[in-house]
Amino acid sequence: MTDRRAELMLGAAAVAVVLIIVAMVVFIAISAWPSFQYNGLKWFGSGGDIDAELGDMVNAGGDPTAADYRVRAWPLIYATALTTVLAVLIGVVVAVLAAIFIVELAPPRVRAIIVPVVRLLAAVPSVVYGLVGILVLVPFVNDHLISENQRESVAYVITLNGPGVLVSVLILTLMITPIMIALTVDALSAVPRGWREGALALGVTRWRAVMSVSIRAIRPAIVAAAVLASARALGEAIMLSMVSGSKGFAPQPWDGVLFLFEPLRPLAATIAEQAEGIQAPALKASIYAMALVLLVSSLMLSVGGSLIKRSLRLGTAR
Amino acid sequence: MVEFPPPVRRITPNGSPNVVDPADRQGMPEPIARATRPSYGPERLRIDGVSIHYAGTERPAVNAVTLPVRQGEVLALIGPSGCGKTTLLRSLNRLVELTPGASRQGRILLDGEDVDHLEITRLRRRVSMIFQQPNPFPMSIFDNVAYAIREQAMRRPGKAALMPRVETALRRAGLWDEVADDLGRPALRLSGGQQQRLCIARALAVEPDVLLMDEPCSALDPISTGVVEELIHELRENLAIVIVTHNLAQARRVGDHVAFMYLGDLVEYAPTEELFTRPRADRTREYVQGSFG
Amino acid sequence: MSTAPTTGGPRATPPGRRQRLLGELRLWRPLDLLGVVAAWTVGALLLLVAASLLLYMGIKGLQYVSLDLLITRPQPGADQSETGGILDPILGTLMIIAIATAIALPLAVGAALWIVEYSRPRWLARVVESGIEVIAGAPSIAIAIFGLAIFQLPIFSWASFSAADGGGVFGRSFIAAGSVMSLIALPSIFATTREALQSVPRHVREASYGLGKTKWATIRRVLLPTVKPDIATGTALGMGRIAGDTAIIVLLLGATLQLQAGSGIPGVGTLQGTGSTLTSYVYNNSPTGEGNAPEKAYAAAFVLMLLIIGLNLLVAGIGRRRAGTDLPR
């Protein structure tokens, strides 16, 4: 085989990958267009029962009217943002502390066990976490944490039977934290020894040396880990459809403790559940619109992440 | 100002100023030379029969070494690779304890007080260290110099309050004129020689009593080396300095006393000129004349 | 200030450990103390959660898994005791992994080779790299929904079966799910291969050119053998992601319990047909799914975990072997 032909062949593989990706983005955008066309910016707004709207789309069948396209997706967007932000915030704090524990504090024998275990946890399929959530956490929350009073107080709007904000965020955190820990541990162990010793030689306690030099130095890696984890949390469909309660409802933080038990359903889970009805044009446009929103968000996330990383690196000239 | 506690053994002008007592050391190759000129100041650091073992090795890395470190002088540790000089240096601020499996016997006295009794961060503030590779932190020049001051304080002082001390430290390290225009610059953008002087400034900012230098010039070009050596010369007025070096010419240029170590043993300790011109031990002569090492 | 000794002169006896610890803690900022306590707490919690999760899955799995279960086909049924085994989901998972890897591997390795060894024109190389970054960050549900629409196009009617009246293409089959799944594995294979190629020292290539070898010969005879362990690592990682992905399976494999051939042609018919994998089986047999057979779900999840652990060990094994060969000989 000649060099020229080899270059063309390998180049073709690269171009094929790009074409698939471009096709994906374009295709999703075109399919989503009718939904945005009919709803405009109100698509992102609140003021409607999203579950009823999606149901009507299926009933409208193959020839929907403009009214059938009506979508007010706010509860779903809110649910996506709520679960992602809470899980990532908890996850980052836990991951940094856990990484410090693993690299700096844990006895070597514990470290030798926990690092592979964390890697394994990072590879556990989300559906397994979902299974544990629905078979262990949901019954526990239902039986022990929700009181009858609470149940009755909102019975006319929603049913509280376990799945909801608390279980979703817990399981989501459990799912995304191991990968963040693994990445942070890698970065923390790669901090040059000279920095650590330099700080210690200046009479700084080990803890302060870690916090002020090591953690500072690995901030880009922490951002990268958080971005990766956010992308996973954002796009998690199946697991959240299992433990979220699957209701197009926006939990209200001012409901106090009740907030933790209120059901919700993020965008990704909505897509997974509604994909069966994709033959109905109105529903098809709506779920592609949701997919587009997810795709664009994950895109913005990675662009934003690399901008933050660059500015952090500029500060250190590394 | 608290008075220093008396050193374990004062240096008397006429007695035997050099401290390795032959009685303490068996197998000493040669009697220790006399100092030909008076010592500069009081003894600050006393290395008293220090041995260091690494786990898994038969021979100690440092074997029963006794040495004085006086204020106002530079003590140069020389010897071939693996002779234990860096290990000895790292034991002086107990940095050697970071190495798993390392253990030390013997005492190290800072102003007469056993360093094992000192709180470790206090010790390291008084006995600071410069490393072989310049290791400025990945932050601005200002933050680097202010680092230790900030970290020591219970409450973080503001930038304005720190400025005088940062300036003093940078001036003492001879770096002020080069960086004064932009202290917010990332320290890692400086040249190698500037980075090393920044590390010296960073150590000076907390006003240590003893400065340990582990081959501070081995990663630098000749011009930067000259600048740093000049700096060491000036700094010794107010500090006791211990420098480990591979470079005999450098030891001769900056050292007031030189200690020659070989395979963990202290072979000879003498004023610089004496050790280089009239070495007592055969080993020393062979080494300084370049037949091995 | 720092020249002032902290304690008044030498002490007769060394202070005890406890006293020294307390003395040290006095110098700590409260927030730092809190941090140390938090780090230990999180560490202990991590150990606890990890151990209980793995033990729980292990115990539940061993409780319900049996050889019988592994080799019998699943049956639809309301009662857990009548729903048969998990043979088809296991086969389904293996088939999906095989199809997706077969597509992803050449594409990813080819793209990585092109990026590192040629990458002309520059702008195209940049587009390829950011494109793969997009796919790596894209939610799998978005990829799945894209695949569903693509495979429902009439030109892909060969990939699944069509309605008898020629109305619409079903768009769900092993071919559809497998090819879309390849996008999930692609980024990890691409990334590990690219990094490995970039870390091959320049002189290795120059030595090969110096012997008069062409670029292609260098790639085939020198570079590919060198980076083979890394390709294997990336592939194993990608396989893990394939085995664990649920969204694409639920949308694109048709979610029938058993393998159902899409046409009469042997072999090809199965590829055109629908089925289930371990992940979709777990999903469907959880209380939210249609099956609701928790015991079977635990058993399937256990098998899935074993598969993931196996792939993890494989990755670790490759890493260790490579570390071994890097030693000076």
Q: For C9, which of B113, B121, B208 is closest by C-beta distance?
A: B113
CATH topology of domain A74-316: MetI-like fold (1.10.3720)
Q: For residue range A122-156, what is the model confidence (pLDDT) as tens digits?
A: 999 999 999 999 999 998 988 888 888 888 888 78
Whether B188 sits inside 8 A of A318 (CB atoms) is: yes
Whether A131 sits inside 8 A of C308 (CB atoms) is: no
B239 and B210 in contact (C-beta within 8 Å)?
A: yes
DSSP string, C200-255: S-HHHHHHHHHTT--HHHHIIIIIHHHHHHHHHHHHHHHHHHHHH--HHHHHHSTT
CB distance from A241 to chain C under 8 Å? Answer: yes
Whether C308 sits inside 8 A of A28 (CB atoms) is: no
Chain B: give the shortest CA distance to residue A230, in Å: 27
DSSP 3-state of B86:
helix
- Looking at residue B190, its amino acid is L
Q: For residue range A59-83, what is the model confidence (pLDDT) as tens digits?
A: 877 777 888 888 888 999 999 999 9
Most confident of A92-101, A105-114, B27-36, B160-169: A92-101
CB distance from C35 to chain B under 8 Å? Answer: no
Whether A114 sits inside 8 A of C50 (CB atoms) is: yes
Nearest residue in A to C310, CA atom: A120
Nearest residue in C to B238, CA atom: C3
Task: Tell me the torsion sign for CA atoms A201, A207, A208, A210.
Answer: positive
- State the pairing for strand pair B265-271/B113-114: unpaired
Query: Does pTM top 0.90 for this prediction?
Result: no
Higher local confidence (pLDDT), C68 or C34: C34
What is the set of domains in chain C, with CATH numbers?
A: 88-288+301-323 (1.10.3720.10)
Whether A217 sits inside 8 A of B121 (CB atoms) is: no
Whether A117 sits inside 8 A of C148 (CB atoms) is: no
What is the set of domains in chain B, with CATH numbers?
A: 43-136+200-288 (3.40.50.300)
Whether C14 sits inside 8 A of B116 (CB atoms) is: yes
Q: For residue range A7-46, what is the model confidence (pLDDT) as tens digits?
A: 888 889 889 989 998 999 999 999 999 999 888 888 898 8
Give the pLDDT of residue C157: 76
Nearest residue in C to B44, CA atom: C3
Distance of CA B230 to the CA centre of its chain: 16
**What is the ipTM score, two decimals?**
0.88
pLDDT-based confidence at B26, cuts 50/70/90? very low
Whether A10 sits inside 8 A of C114 (CB atoms) is: yes
Per domain, the residue ranges of chain A are 74-316
- State the pairing for strand pair B43-54/B62-70: antiparallel
DSSP 3-state of B285:
helix
> Of the candidates A108, A44, A66, A89, which has an alpha carbon nearest to the alpha carbon of residue A289?
A44
> Of the candidates B194, B148, B147, B159, which has an alpha carbon nearest to the alpha carbon of residue B175?
B194
Contacts of C24 in chain B (CB under 8 A): 119-121
A187 and B82 in contact (C-beta within 8 Å)?
A: no
How is residue C189 written in tokens? 């294979």
pLDDT-based confidence at C316, cuts 50/70/90? confident
> Of the candidates B164, B182, B181, which has an alpha carbon nearest to the alpha carbon of residue B172?
B164
Chain B segment 104-143 residues within 8 A of C by beta carbon are 109, 111-114, 116-122, 125-126
Chain B: give the shortest CA distance to residue A104, in Å: 12
CB distance from A122 to chain C under 8 Å? Answer: no
Q: For C3, which of B109, B154, B207 is closest by C-beta distance?
A: B207
